[in-house]
Structure 1
Amino acid sequence: MLETIKLNQLGCPSCVKKIESGVKQQDGVNSVEVLFNSSKVKVDFDEATVTRHDIEMVIEKLGYTIRG
């Protein structure tokens, strides 16, 4: 399943690597791409293994806020 998660504005380009690295560690995540300029995270994942909520929790634990 491909999902786009919107974040509050990212502060620096190094945030991209931090989020991508953290999300990629989740079982069931096939790919992740963080779009710095639009503050979006595109994630392809297996919903039988991981949920969108699980991925959002990882992002929040890294210190980023999900935008409604």
Structure 2
Amino acid sequence: MIKKTYKLETLTCPSCVLKIEGTVNKITGVSKAEVLFNASKLKVEFDESIIDGNQIRNTVERLGYEVLSEK
């Protein structure tokens, strides 16, 4: 398992949190996704043999949220 944190554009509402967490948690290979609303960050724990960080980033961006950085 690998852990990554994605810095997102400023989140404006709690429903954004639910939308992002719900979608990312459904991705095969993701064991945990948590959005920190006040920090506008997404923390994800995933199996890198099943999925890579770019797929997670692309999923978030398809939802309409800009990913500013990842580490």
Regarding TM over 0.5, the answer is: yes
* Structure 2: tracts of 5 or more residues without a match: none
User: Hey, which bits of structure 1, 4+ residues long, moved more than 2 A?
Assistant: none
Amino acid at match of 1:23: V
The 5 Å alignment of 1:1-68 reads: 1-68=2-69
CA deviation string 1:23-45 (max 9, x = no partner): 01111000000000000000000
Q: 1:64 deviation in Å?
A: 0.2
Whichever structure has more strand as a proportion of its residues is 2
Distance 1:43 1:33 in 2: 6
Distance 2:6 2:20 in 1: 12
Q: 1:21 deviation in Å?
A: 0.7
RMSD, aligned α-carbons: 0.6
Paired residue total: 68
- TM-score, with normalisation over the residues of structure 1? 0.97
Q: 1:11 deviation in Å?
A: 1.2
